[in-house]
Structure 1
Amino acid sequence: MARYTYERLSAQDNSFLLLERPNVHMHVAATTVFDATPLKTADGGIDVDSIKRATEAVLHLIPRYCQKLKWIPFESHAVWIDDRHFNIDYHIRHTSLPRPGTNEQLKRLAGRIMAQQLDRSRPLWEIWVVEGLERDRFAMINKMHHCMIDGAAGVDLSQILMSPLAEHPLQEVRAFVPRPAPSRVDLWRDEFARRLSLPLQAARNFREFARQTDDLRLEIRTRIRALAALVGWAVRGASPTPINGRLGPHRRFDWLTMPLEEVKAVRKALGCTVNDVVLATVAGAVREYMIHRRVNPAELDFRVSAPVSVRREEDRGKLGNRVSSWIIRLPLKEADPRAQLDAIHELTRNLKESKQALGVEMMMAAAEWTPPALLSLGAQAASGPINMIVTNVPGPQIPLYMLGAKLEACFPQVPLLENTGLGIALFSYDGKLCWGFNADYNLVPDLPVFIKAIENSFAALSESAGLRGLPQESGVFAPEV
């Protein structure tokens, strides 16, 4: 039996820790809205104790949620160890909106929670149960550090925490027994041994790479060219815009929903992908918003980072990041929505052929042998060539329930990189495409204007496809402007 147990973070997971600054927080979040009826208490509140027990009952399936960071001596690199002081009451918090709480109040609360850094001395997650939401609903704001989980893994996690069955009884809570953690001397000794073994490990990895590749030389040349193109992006930098600058301590959060069938109808009519439709919608909105902010969009080299999952089937269910990214220049010179979509479709097709995402993956693999101090500088430089993050994660298209409470919508929040004042995350669920907008409070003081531009852009794209414009929703999830 091992004297101690720990798990070293991958270079990619560790890079999310190195990117953090006092006003740059690398946690992801989601604001989920539920029907409150099945969990209402006699006094009209929410049965938070049952939510705690239900969460605690599945923690043995996701042990990372009971682990905290410990740093390797003399290195800017961390490992996961079991938290012997783990307490579910710290991680699941209970709050209430002034009844009847509005969507607008919930958005402000989510923005404040997103602006607070997670405590690195504890497991890096929180769930805020928010009662008092109008129309007999409650919300949960789920927050976790990016070093724990990426979007595709998060979909797996939601399948653990929720059920497609409305009748889902409480499971038995298993006692958490923390395993012994290494001392600082143990970590230093193991790190020294790991470094001695790196050449042998590199040779093994190369043999495995060669075994999976039909034309080794062509594959290496292709990835190196993709990597060189990314370096070129970083050297040139993106255009300065009103939404790019030093981040402050506060955040704004807002959301929007679209019927997924409307988006798929545009995709089918124009012969592209759902992601192309999303990026074209963002391009049209950015163009309109820049004009609103008195900036000529035709003069901008405006770039978005679009994360791409490289998670293999055998990785499903495992926490940690298996994600790369595309860097896409939005065609803001084009005023015609169809021309914008055609340009983006061509760009994404070329990116698939260029294997840019695999070039980034190769760079992160090389980072496993990079000194942490140098990796920190590289991680900071990598955030320089973009203006915005746009991430789109497909979710389940069936209703999900938690202790009988139906999940009505899930609005994701993506972290803001340094000098990047607006991030867009999308999650498709049960026939809806849910947009979440996380913004720096001062850089984007008029976030509802941008959301209206998103609506206008999609309506124009719909019309260009010969479809009717996006209908204005008057229901629960309509944006409040």
Structure 2
Amino acid sequence: MAGRERMASMDAAWLQMEEPANLMMITAVLWFDGAVELERLRAVVRERLVERYPRFRQCVVPGPLGAPHWEDAPDFELEEHLSTLRVPESAGRAGLEALVGDWLGVPLDRSRPLWHIHLVRGAPGGDVLLARLHHCISDGIALARVLLSLTEPVDAGAVPEAEARDEGSDAQLPSEVERPPRAPGWMRFARGARSALRKGAEMVREPILAGDLVREGAKGAAALGKLLVLPPDPRSPLRGPLSPRKLAAWSEPIELERVKAVGRTLGGTVNDVLLTTVTGALRRYLATRDAPLEDVHALVPVNLRPLDVPVPRELGNRFGVVFLRLPVHLPEPRRRLREVAKRMEQLKRSPEAVVTFGLLELLGRTPAALERAVVDVMGTKASLVATNVPGPRQPVSLAGSRLRGLTFWVPQAGHVGLGVSLFSYSGQVTVGVASDASRVPDPGAIVAAFQEELDSLATLAP
């Protein structure tokens, strides 16, 4: 049939992973100065999203033997994917966060292309876009770039596409490694990893995976062995059964210069400072819940495609994950910073991301029940998903309205109930928290703890 193609196994893995209490959606919230003109927005979305990327006008259908395929939607209507909502002005910021949290728990309609953009009226300060896109379409970094490609520079020198790093900073977790190995399956990853990462190591300045990476298959085997024997994270309020109800909260934008100043004073990179602040915020939050102050692992997505070339028209998922152990047990902030830097340095030389990419690709070829079982086991080894997405250095606008800020979440796979996102844009960083109501019923408390922890770090002497 014309317009039908088999879904890549990595993309199918994310489609099969979805459950009612654990939706595999990527969610972005963008807020603007003043109103966004609907007709102008509709024209931009049609031209730069729907007409440019075929996945946004294709449905998922079962193929031979049940394998999922992409097929052109015969009755595609943009109006079914771009709608307006209203939040009462009296509800303020809390009302907007509640609205976003409600939609985090609503699945996308599988009879249509798997995305939806809501234009939210009545929010304080201006209109808001709430974008929900299924992970089977593409990974978070690529979709962030796709959404930002809808924007235009406010100033002549601005760059609308997501940048690899802020000027003079390293405020990012994803690594800009070239391309993942072509050979399917983790057992064949070593040869492809060497060629895939050789050029990437030259491109990357301060990623999670820098320097000489996979030089021998033995390193990959050791990384796989480490993942398999990694014990489950300790029991805490962050882990346990999930519910369909989700919650969201985010901070006011934080000046990136504040983060840089802390790094200069205490001797750490911007990335180290941000991760140390997240660690301290979790320590503060767990203390309020009378929970043990033990180290927890964060699942950190690692980009495996270059950021210096356009996102391919077919999109798709090209990333792995690493397990970063956050030193929650350390009471002294300077020691936490040093330990975060040390553990990050170890991950920079680890092939874990390539191993997990191959594993996810392999799981996409297995029955959904087996995939969920494996993902659930891996999910017990982490308590949260942490992402740091680099955005434009300079201000941008969308459909004529200036973008003030944004936050962005990837799904919490493996029954993980907490996601912490850091998004840098125009010299500022926003921290966003998405949570399962059964695990973290007050995500705003973690946002507040992040801000308190950053204030505390800023008062420390060198």
TM-score (norm 1): 0.80
Q: What residue is the counterpart of 2:222 in the other structure?
A: 225
* One of 113, 128, 136 as aligned partner of 1:139: 128
Cα distance in 1 for partners of 2:65, 2:350 equals 39
Structure 1 residues 465 and 120, CA gap change in structure 2 (3 angstroms): farther
Structure 1 residues 321 and 74, CA gap change in structure 2 (3 angstroms): same
Cα distance in 2 for partners of 1:316, 1:74 equals 34
Q: Are 1:33 and 1:409, in contact at CA under 8 Å, matched by a contact in 2?
A: yes
SS in 1 for 2:299: strand
Q: What residue is the counterpart of 1:62 in the other structure?
A: 53
Q: What residue is the counterpart of 2:326 in the other structure?
A: 330
User: Where do 1:165-244 residues align within 5 Å?
Assistant: 165=154, 218-233=215-230, 236-244=231-239
Q: Are 1:166 and 1:405, in contact at CA under 8 Å, matched by a contact in 2?
A: no
Cα distance in 2 for partners of 1:14, 1:270 equals 44
Cα distance in 2 for partners of 1:462, 1:217 equals 37
Q: Are 2:194 and 2:214, in contact at CA under 8 Å, matched by a contact in 1?
A: no
Letter in 2 for 1:238: D
2:271 is the counterpart of 1:275 = yes
Q: Deviations over 1:200-241 (max 9, x none)?
A: 9999998766767999994211111111111112xx211111
2:23 is the counterpart of 1:33 = no
Q: Are 1:306 and 1:327, in contact at CA under 8 Å, matched by a contact in 2?
A: yes
Structure 1 residues 209 and 357, CA gap change in structure 2 (3 angstroms): closer
SS in 2 for 1:464: coil
Q: Deviations over 1:86-130 (max 9, x none)?
A: 111111111112235511111111011111011111111111111
Q: What residue is the counterpart of 1:151 in the other structure?
A: 140
Structure 1 residues 54 and 387, CA gap change in structure 2 (3 angstroms): same
Q: Are 1:398 and 1:430, in contact at CA under 8 Å, matched by a contact in 2?
A: yes
Q: What residue is the counterpart of 1:252 in the other structure?
A: 247
- How many Å apart are 1:28 and its aligned residue? 1.1
Cα distance in 1 for partners of 2:429, 2:384 equals 20
Letter in 1 for 2:299: S
The number of residue pairs the alignment matches comes to: 420
Structure 1 residues 199 and 440, CA gap change in structure 2 (3 angstroms): closer
Q: What residue is the counterpart of 2:9 in the other structure?
A: 11
Q: What residue is the counterpart of 1:305 in the other structure?
A: 299
Letter in 1 for 2:69: V
Q: What CA RMSD, in Å, does the superposition of the two structures yield over aligned residues? A: 2.9
Cα distance in 2 for partners of 1:216, 1:128 equals 42
Letter in 2 for 1:72: G
User: Where do 1:299-378 residues align within 5 Å?
Assistant: 300-313=294-307, 316-318=310-312, 319-367=315-363, 370=366, 374-378=370-374
Cα distance in 2 for partners of 1:160, 1:9 equals 24
Cα distance in 2 for partners of 1:351, 1:402 equals 37
Q: What residue is the counterpart of 1:473 in the other structure?
A: none
SS in 1 for 2:26: strand
Q: Deviations over 1:281-315 (max 9, x none)?
A: 11111111111101120xx3411111111113576
2:392 is the counterpart of 1:402 = no
- How many Å apart are 1:5 and its aligned residue? 3.2
SS in 2 for 1:354: coil
- How many Å apart are 1:394 and its aligned residue? 0.6
Q: Are 2:120 and 2:128, in contact at CA under 8 Å, matched by a contact in 1?
A: yes
Gaps of 5+ in 1: 40-46, 168-197, 467-481
Q: Are 1:166 and 1:403, in contact at CA under 8 Å, matched by a contact in 2?
A: no
Q: Deviations over 1:43-63 (max 9, x none)?
A: xxxx32322222112221122
- Max radius of gyration: which structure? 1
Q: Deviations over 1:353-388 (max 9, x none)?
A: 232222223333544665655434323322221111
SS in 2 for 1:79: strand
Structure 1 residues 163 and 460, CA gap change in structure 2 (3 angstroms): same
Q: Are 1:33 and 1:410, in contact at CA under 8 Å, matched by a contact in 2?
A: yes
SS in 2 for 1:264: helix
Cα distance in 2 for partners of 1:207, 1:417 equals 28
- How many Å apart are 1:330 and its aligned residue? 1.4
- How many Å apart are 1:403 and its aligned residue? 2.1
Q: Are 1:152 and 1:311, in contact at CA under 8 Å, matched by a contact in 2?
A: no
The range that moved more, 55-64 or 306-315, is: 306-315
Q: Are 1:308 and 1:324, in contact at CA under 8 Å, matched by a contact in 2?
A: yes
SS in 1 for 2:122: strand
User: Where do 1:407-422 residues align within 5 Å?
Assistant: 407-422=403-418
Q: What residue is the counterpart of 2:203 in the other structure?
A: none
- How many Å apart are 1:440 and its aligned residue? 1.4
* One of 246, 261, 267 as aligned partner of 1:265: 261
Structure 1 residues 251 and 339, CA gap change in structure 2 (3 angstroms): same
Percent of residue pairs identical: 30
Letter in 1 for 2:138: I
